[in-house]
Amino acid sequence: MREAPILVVGAGPAGASAAATIAEAGLPVLLIEQRDQFGGAIHRQPAAGNDSHVWRPARHRRNWAGLMARLQACAGRIETRTETIFLGVDSEGRFLFDDRRAACVFARRPRAAIIAVGAVETIRPFPGWELPGVMSAGGAQVLLKETGRPPEGPILVAGSGALLPALAAQLAKAGNPPVAVLERGRPWNAPAALARLALSWGPMSEAAAYATTLATSRVPYRCGAIVTQAEPDGDGLKVGIRVGDQRQVLRVRHLLIHDGIEPNRTGIPLPDPDAAVPVLLAGDGREALGADAAILDGRRAATQVLARLGQATRRMRSDERGLIRARGFQAALTQALHSEPVVPAPETLICRCEGRSYAELAALAPDASAREIRLMGRFGLGACQGRFCGPMIAALRGQPLPAAIPPRWPLRPVSVAALARLTTDETE
């Protein structure tokens, strides 16, 4: 019988780093990726047949090239399955996957599992955020990276976080700079946090490059600016903005919104390094610390698995020091961009799948359980299973994110025909 592999789910920077580290130690790896290419969100590759590459900082290009070289050097110990969706863990402890290319479901019992499925975007809802023409900034960035083409027409980028200037600079480099970048936070109110951020050379040099691009393209970057609503306006949008006591309306074709990220934990097995099949999280799916830290965190998870299997762990301490620095940077950034939450208007849509509003969420009892929110309020019953509205509900009701909307099994839609062709370790 062949040796059971170490399972790695997700081939972004954390998953690629974990897979390379384990394979370099001489152990077999099963690397699962839902896309047709490696890269995750940060290193998303152009779509098939498209050779356009979006501008990225040199540091990210070097890091990804290094990871790809490591994976190539030990490719003989890595079984790769792309276009394959993680469905969850069944009652017998088997990890199930939907191979979309082969149209079948297969199950594996690995020696250990590292889940590196990244993060999910969050937004603060406002009236009109669900309209055509409104898109998450992360989703727009992925499309830009895959196609090399920015959206046509005037673009407004709004919300909060480091992704806003990064995306705006990439749009400018691609030929369509946004009309403005609106940051909800007021960083000048947190000088101590700004001072700590200035000590992080890598991220701040990247931020300086974005700022230079925006200045050259004459893109205004306004702090303390909040989108209050969006309304249809012909084939575009009429976007209401508040800056302090001043109100303004901008007419644009696209509104790209973003209010940070949260680890993707929907239906992910709880980490348990002491279980019969130890499960560890890695990268932004464990703690959202950025692309550089994800590489370290993937290696951290891999070295923990190797230690359990009796292998040496030489770089654990240096990786932990790097993660501590990244955690400090993210904490300072959060403090610098902090803004008080705003209670949505009653008509604000919260669950797009079921068309449920904030008024309907507020009508539920304050102590309503996650099950009651789902069944009585009909939140999170749609195809996304609460992946998008779950963070909103958690923030609005003060509940921990994992408890806001419990997932159903399987985690993603799967055809009955694919299930009927189930294969396992024993049948292959």
Residues 80/72, Cβ–Cβ less than 8 Å: no
Question: How many angstroms separate the Cα of 69 from the Cα of each of 120, 188, 293, 296, 303?
Answer: 28, 42, 19, 16, 19
Give the CA-trace dihedral at 47, 53, 57, 58, to 10 degrees.
110
Question: 233, 259, 285 — which closes off a domain?
Answer: 259
Q: Which residue has the tokens 């419990």?
A: 406
Residues 103 and 127 in one domain: no
Residue 402 in any domain: the answer is no
Q: Report the predicted TM-score, pTM, of the whole model to 2 decimal places.
A: 0.91
Give the 3-state secondary structure of residue 72: helix
> What average pLDDT score do residues 349-361 get?
92
Query: What pLDDT shows up at residue 405?
Result: 57
The per-residue pLDDT of the chain, averaged, comes to: 90
Residues 42 and 100 in one domain: yes
Residue 338 in any domain: the answer is no
Nearest to 334 by CA among 160, 111, 99, 188: 160
**Biggest distance spanned by C-alpha atoms of the chain:** 71
Q: Which residue has the tokens 């940070």?
A: 260
Quickly state the pLDDT bin for 56 (edges 50, 70, 90).
Answer: confident
Question: 259, 281, 309 — which closes off a domain?
Answer: 259
Is the pLDDT assigned to residue 400 strictly greater than 70? no
| pLDDT per residue as tens digits for the range 303-346 | 999 988 887 666 677 788 999 999 999 999 999 999 988 899 99
Is the pLDDT assigned to residue 94 strictly greater than 90? no
Residues 70 and 184 in one domain: no
Residue 405 in any domain: the answer is no
**Higher-scoring residue by pLDDT: 49, 256:** 256
129: CB partners within 8 A, 6+ apart: 123, 230, 257, 348, 349
Q: What is the DSSP string of 194-259?
A: HHHHTT-HHHHHHHHHHHHHHHHTT--EEESEEEEEEEEETTEEEEEEEETTEEEEEEESEEEEE-
Amino acid found at 424:
T
Residues 38/144, Cβ–Cβ less than 8 Å: no
Residues 314 and 355 in one domain: no
CA distance 24 to 306: 11
Residues 51 and 93 in one domain: yes
Residue 422 in any domain: the answer is no
**For residue 125, what are its two tokens?**
């809802």
Residue 413 in any domain: the answer is no
Residue 428 in any domain: the answer is no
Residue 362 in any domain: the answer is yes
Residues 146 and 212 in one domain: yes
Residues 282 and 209 in one domain: no
> What average pLDDT score do residues 40-65 get?
86
Residues 134 and 254 in one domain: yes
**Higher-scoring residue by pLDDT: 164, 402:** 164
Query: What pLDDT shows up at residue 78?
Result: 97
Nearest-Å Rg of the Cα atoms of the chain is: 22
Task: Work out the angle between the directed axes of helices 316-336 and 291-308 (0-180°, nearest 10).
Answer: 140
Q: Which domain holds residue 377?
A: 349-395
| pLDDT per residue as tens digits for the range 64-75 | 999 999 999 999
> What average pLDDT score do residues 270-293 get?
88
Q: What is the domain count for the chain?
A: 3
Residues 277/247, Cβ–Cβ less than 8 Å: no
Is the pLDDT assigned to residue 300 strictly greater than 70? yes
DSSP assignment letter at 129: T
Domain harbouring 220, CATH code: 3.50.50.60
**Higher-scoring residue by pLDDT: 1, 98:** 98
Question: 259, 287, 311 — which closes off a domain?
Answer: 259
**For residue 418, what are its two tokens?**
């694919």
> What average pLDDT score do residues 251-272 get?
88
Is the pLDDT assigned to residue 50 strictly greater than 80? no
Question: For residues 193-206, b (16+ Cβ closer than 10 Å) or e, as one string?
Answer: beebbeebeebeeb
Query: What pLDDT shows up at residue 390?
Result: 83
Question: How many angstroms separate the Cα of 346 from the Cα of each of 9, 188, 331, 362, 408?
Answer: 40, 32, 32, 8, 28
| pLDDT per residue as tens digits for the range 145-193 | 999 899 999 999 999 999 999 999 999 999 999 999 999 999 999 999 9
Residues 106 and 194 in one domain: no
Residues 133 and 251 in one domain: yes
Residue 390 in any domain: the answer is yes
- What length is written for the chain? 428
Query: What pLDDT shows up at residue 315?
Result: 66
Quickly state the pLDDT bin for 426 (edges 50, 70, 90).
Answer: low
Residues 244 and 308 in one domain: no
| pLDDT per residue as tens digits for the range 134-143 | 999 999 999 9
Reading phi first (left if > 0) and then psi (alpha if -120 to 50, else beta), residue 5 is in: beta
Residues 312 and 383 in one domain: no
Query: What pLDDT shows up at residue 227?
Result: 96
